[in-house]
Amino acid sequence: MNKLINDPGNVVADALRGLAAAHPELRVDHEQRVVFRGDAPVRGKVGLVSGGGSGHEPLHAGFVGAGMLDAACAGEIFTSPVPDQMAAATNGVDGGAGVLHIVKNYTGDVMNFEMAAELAETEVVAVVIDDDVAVQDSLYTAGRRGVGVTVLVEKIAGAAAEEGRPLDAVAAVARKVNSQGRSMGVALSSCTVPAAGRPTFDLPDGEMELGIGIHGEPGRRRVPTGTAAEIAEMLLAPILADLDFTGGDGVICFVNGMGATPLIELYVMYQEVAAILGKAGVPIARSLVGPYITSLDMAGCSVTLLKADDEILRLWDAPVRTPALRWGV
Amino acid sequence: MNKLINDPGNVVADALRGLAAAHPELRVDHEQRVVFRGDAPVRGKVGLVSGGGSGHEPLHAGFVGAGMLDAACAGEIFTSPVPDQMAAATNGVDGGAGVLHIVKNYTGDVMNFEMAAELAETEVVAVVIDDDVAVQDSLYTAGRRGVGVTVLVEKIAGAAAEEGRPLDAVAAVARKVNSQGRSMGVALSSCTVPAAGRPTFDLPDGEMELGIGIHGEPGRRRVPTGTAAEIAEMLLAPILADLDFTGGDGVICFVNGMGATPLIELYVMYQEVAAILGKAGVPIARSLVGPYITSLDMAGCSVTLLKADDEILRLWDAPVRTPALRWGV
């Protein structure tokens, strides 16, 4: 196991210390493992809280800051945070306008965020993200899994909150983005959880796992490795079949790296994705290319399309200042 | 070879098409393989040109844009661009104030940029980057190799050019940053060049290559894998021994991923680096954590320290708008 870590049991704690040291504009509660905006709670603003198992960095802590999340809870690797963490995050970002929970659809996350909402001392609305078209139910999920759209919801709902919209309106934006976004991923290698010390699954050379989950949970099927063009087709066909992406204001096209895939390959994938969308009559309005929701050291990628409208594009373009996404400030 | 590519011979061309599609604010000359700022040449501004072998993305094309490079030349994987490309880039960014070449110290790059300067139709000054303390000479280099400081030079000299400084002043800033910056890297796995189809070097499980070059060329020595704390010590001791980083305005501390190392591990490394710097009395003024100068799918990291002063910090903080580094706009 060739990893840049100390004790496999301390990876999350060590990384949070690194995050705090590198980003003094954030405030990290190391005991509760919650990363806050330095100026939280922001008076009068809806607070946005997300979180989940670690190992998907920069999601979620890398998206904490002005224009995006107010706090993120870090669980152990691939393990939901506990309700106490989530409640501490919720109370810590309560500026008097209520708090939105952005929850990826995994059973543990959904259950623990529900308990946290009961524990919290403020009004809470939860939006559950379930954009992965690969499988209907999964190892850790009833219903579709939450993957790449989570990044887009955090950015777009974050901008809506920053504008001063009330809780129900911010939640409505988050729900709209989730309902108009679809994703699918592929793994070219397994990841290795530090505490396990060996690959989560076996993937023989020359094969790939189509529809992989972000914890290495099974996808649709094991298939022979293809070219980038073939892989793009395999990822996009189910996405385009699931939702009509034509007739809007184009899409936000997000090609995401799983952690061990270098950027040059993501741009090769992007051009294949763009070519397919061109043929399908789906214009690209904005794009995002890079490792934003990862699976430790898994090789592979996912593609997310979000059907955009004026409002979504305006909120996407709004200023954001976080460790992993920053523009306009 | 589990890579998201089509023909191994077309990776660079495909990735440039992806870059062009994802970033319409750039202009890509696909024949010459030069990526330009969309508004190049900028009248009255010193033009900044860099480039080198591909496989280090986002370096260099991901750093083209306002406040950084005016153009980047993409060679084949780990192979210098040719003088004609560099001359086309130079002429294309000539706004009447001359052009600065930012050249990593590899024999092919240095020679080809020299020939390009002779071919170009404008005044050219070259600054050669040689910040890698690992080895004195190397497989492709006489003298020290150019690595992480290149990113910092491109940002800081880019800001100086954007301010309207003349060519000699922009070159002086670039030379100052190079002279005050030091780097060293480590590989936990080899990279695989697509056209070769097999790892560039053998690295047995449980060993790492200390002082690795960004093309997989040998470093100082092969050593057993250590903890993040031990690795940070092995990287920082030669850097701190080579230059006195105390007594200034702190350092810009850059922890770079080699391509296959996920962000969570880079933050673990960052906290160990920060702890060592704290003990050494070297304050951190700014930080950068992520994969910015990579080696295809190599696992590992490098650490770069730049001794800062008021001018360097002000230029670092200045607005930048490129695919890979963006703030303030």
Interval A4-21: pLDDT, tens: 999 999 999 999 999 999
Q: Do B18 and A227 touch (CB under 8 A)?
A: no
Q: Do B294 and A262 touch (CB under 8 A)?
A: yes
Q: Do A205 and B2 touch (CB under 8 A)?
A: yes
- On whether the CB atoms of residues B110 and B144 are closer than 8 A, the answer is no
- Are A311 and A205 members of one domain? yes
CB-based contact, B14 to chain A, within 8 Å? yes
Closest partner CB to A54 (pick from B54, B55, B264): B264
- Are B59 and B113 members of one domain? yes
Element (H, E) at B279: helix B263-279
Identify whether B88 is part of a domain: yes
Contacts of A192 in chain B (CB under 8 A): none
- The confidence band for A138, taking pLDDT boundaries of 50, 70 and 90, is confident
The order of strands in the sheet holding B251-257 is B221-224, B207-210, B181-187, B300-307, B251-257, B284-290
In terms of residue numbers, what domain contains A115?
Answer: 11-180
- Are B187 and B288 members of one domain? yes
CB-based contact, B262 to chain A, within 8 Å? yes
Report A:59-88 residues touching B (Cβ under 8 A): 62
Residue B305 pLDDT exceeds 80: yes
Nearest CA to CA, how far is A143 from chain B (Å)? Answer: 28
- Are A167 and A216 members of one domain? no
Between strands B34-37 and B71-77, the pairing is antiparallel
Last residue of a domain, one of A124, A150, A180: A180
The total domain count for chain B is 2
Residues 6 or more apart whose Cβ sits within 8 Å of residue A151: A59, A63, A254, A256, A288, A292, A293, A304
Last residue of a domain, one of A180, A202, A218: A180
Residue-by-residue DSSP string for B203-256? --TTEEEET--TTS---SEEEE---HHHHHHHHHHHHHHHS--TTSS-EEEEEE
Identify whether B5 is part of a domain: no
- Are B95 and B17 members of one domain? yes
Read off the CATH number of the domain in which A211 is found. 3.30.1180.20
Identify whether B328 is part of a domain: no
- On whether the CB atoms of residues B48 and B154 are closer than 8 A, the answer is yes
Contacts of A16 in chain B (CB under 8 A): 267
Contacts of A198 in chain B (CB under 8 A): none
How many angstroms separate the CA atoms of A304 and A40, rounded? 30
**Cα R_g (chain A), whole angstroms:** 19
The interface pTM score, or ipTM, of the predicted complex is 0.98
Residue B2 pLDDT exceeds 90: no
Residues 6 or more apart whose Cβ sits within 8 Å of residue A140: A106, A107, A108, A213, A215, A217
**What is the reported pLDDT for B138?**
78
Last residue of a domain, one of B126, B161, B180: B180
**CA distances (Å), B225 to each of A4, A275, B231, B266, B279, in order?**
9, 43, 8, 16, 24
Is B56 a known active-site residue?
yes
Residue A139 pLDDT exceeds 80: no
Q: Rounded to 5, what percent of chain B is helix, strand, coil? A: 35, 25, 40
Picking from B258, B250, B263, B259, the residue whose alpha carbon sits closest to that of residue B303 is B258
Picking from A9, A161, A31, the residue whose alpha carbon sits closest to that of residue A76 is A9
Q: What percent of chain B has pLDDT over 90?
A: 96
**What is the reported pLDDT for A219?**
92
Contacts of B21 in chain A (CB under 8 A): 270-271, 274, 284, 287
CB-based contact, B2 to chain A, within 8 Å? yes
Element (H, E) at A13: helix A11-22
Q: What percent of chain A has pLDDT over 90?
A: 96
Contacts of B274 in chain A (CB under 8 A): 18, 21-22
**Cα R_g (chain B), whole angstroms:** 19
- The confidence band for A137, taking pLDDT boundaries of 50, 70 and 90, is confident
Q: Which token pair is B327?
A: 């703030």
CA-based nearest residue in chain A for residue B20: A271
- The confidence band for B241, taking pLDDT boundaries of 50, 70 and 90, is very high
Q: Which token pair is B319?
A: 């607005």
- The confidence band for B84, taking pLDDT boundaries of 50, 70 and 90, is very high
How many contacts, defined by CB atoms under 8 Å, are there between A and B? 199
CB-based contact, A291 to chain B, within 8 Å? yes
Dihedral in degrees, nearest 10, Cα atoms B269, B275, B278, B283: 30
Contacts of B7 in chain A (CB under 8 A): 227
Write out pLDDT tens, residues A154-185.
999 999 999 999 999 999 999 999 999 999 99
- Are A243 and A176 members of one domain? no
Query: Which residue, among B10, B234, B255, B264, would best test binding to A if mutated, counting the most A CBs under 10 Å from its CB?
Result: B264
Mean per-residue pLDDT over chain B, rounded: 97
Is A215 a known active-site residue?
yes
Contacts of B289 in chain A (CB under 8 A): 18, 22, 323
Closest partner CB to A301 (pick from B4, B58, B271): B4
Identify whether B1 is part of a domain: no
Nearest CA to CA, how far is B209 from chain A (Å)? Answer: 12
**What is the reported pLDDT for B222?**
96
- The confidence band for A82, taking pLDDT boundaries of 50, 70 and 90, is very high
How many angstroms separate the CA atoms of A1 and B292, rounded? 24
CB-based contact, B328 to chain A, within 8 Å? yes
- The confidence band for B142, taking pLDDT boundaries of 50, 70 and 90, is confident
How many angstroms separate the CA atoms of A171 and A148, rounded? 18
Identify whether B4 is part of a domain: no
Q: Do B14 and A294 touch (CB under 8 A)?
A: no
The amino acid present at B68, given as its one-letter code, is: M
Residue A320 pLDDT exceeds 90: yes
Identify whether B327 is part of a domain: no
| Mean pLDDT within A16-41 | 98
How many angstroms separate the CA atoms of A114 and A83, rounded? 8
Residues 6 or more apart whose Cβ sits within 8 Å of residue B146: B103, B104, B105, B106, B128, B129, B130, B131, B132
Closest partner CB to A188 (pick from B2, B262, B328): B2
CB-based contact, B300 to chain A, within 8 Å? yes
**What is the reported pLDDT for B139?**
77
Q: Do A268 and B205 touch (CB under 8 A)?
A: no
Write out pLDDT tens, residues B194-215.
999 999 999 998 999 999 999 9
- Are B309 and B196 members of one domain? yes
- On whether the CB atoms of residues A145 and A130 are closer than 8 A, the answer is yes
Element (H, E) at A150: helix A149-162
- Are B280 and B191 members of one domain? yes
Read off the CATH number of the domain in which B139 is found. 3.40.50.10440
Identify whether A65 is part of a domain: yes
Identify whether A260 is part of a domain: yes
Nearest CA to CA, how far is A296 from chain B (Å)? Answer: 6
Nearest CA to CA, how far is A118 from chain B (Å)? Answer: 31
How many angstroms separate the CA atoms of A328 and B48, rounded? 24
- Are B292 and B227 members of one domain? yes
Write out pLDDT tens, residues A237-260.
999 999 999 988 899 999 999 999
- The confidence band for B112, taking pLDDT boundaries of 50, 70 and 90, is very high
CB-based contact, B268 to chain A, within 8 Å? yes
Residues 6 or more apart whose Cβ sits within 8 Å of residue B29: B35, B36, B88, B92
- Are B24 and B145 members of one domain? yes
Nearest CA to CA, how far is A295 from chain B (Å)? Answer: 8
Contacts of A327 in chain B (CB under 8 A): 321, 326-327, 329
- Are A114 and A218 members of one domain? no
CB-based contact, B225 to chain A, within 8 Å? yes
Q: Which token pair is A103?
A: 């929850």
**What is the reported pLDDT for B62?**
98
| Mean pLDDT within A261-288 | 98
Write out pLDDT tens, residues B148-187.
999 999 999 999 999 999 999 999 999 999 999 999 999 9
**What is the reported pLDDT for A141?**
83
- Are B211 and B94 members of one domain? no
